[in-house]
Amino acid sequence: MKRVITYGTFDLLHYGHINLLRRAKERGDYLIVALSTDEFNWNEKQKKCYFKYQQRKTLLEAIRYVDLVIPETCWEQKKTDIHEYHIDTFVIGDDWKGKFDFLKDEGAEVVYLSRTPEISTTDIKMNLAKHEEENPAGSRKN
């Protein structure tokens, strides 16, 4: 069985995430998603999530491409995850290109997949904030 792992926050789940997960699963038989915890997102990435960890985990577990969701609690765990879960292929978005090549030394193939260009969680959050500025709740027409 070929095992694949990917990492991410997966907040405000969208079709770009689904594309990434589908393409990751195509590289093996079993896909593990290491989902960034709320604490890791805030302390290490300075990211505040809309959905809490458990909600994001529940969403990911409902996706047919995902076989297992584990918590990502620190940057360093990638090396140990490769060994603990007997990973063959490490997959991540190409905005990280070159950053995880060191995992090849742990015995994993490292693959950087292109992102779905027209969508990102950051863009969604910015568009929602802009919409709220232009249309405050008190002035909405029903």
Residues recognised as catalytic: 45, 47
Nearest by Cα to 122 from 62, 33, 50, 69: 50
Element of type H or E holding 140: none
Alpha carbons 108 and 101: distance in angstroms, whole number: 9
DSSP state of 18: H
Element of type H or E holding 126: helix 121-134
Evaluate the CA torsion angle 45, 51, 57, 60 in order and state its sign. negative
Region for residue 83 given its phi and psi (left: phi exceeds 0; alpha: psi -120 to 50; beta: otherwise): alpha
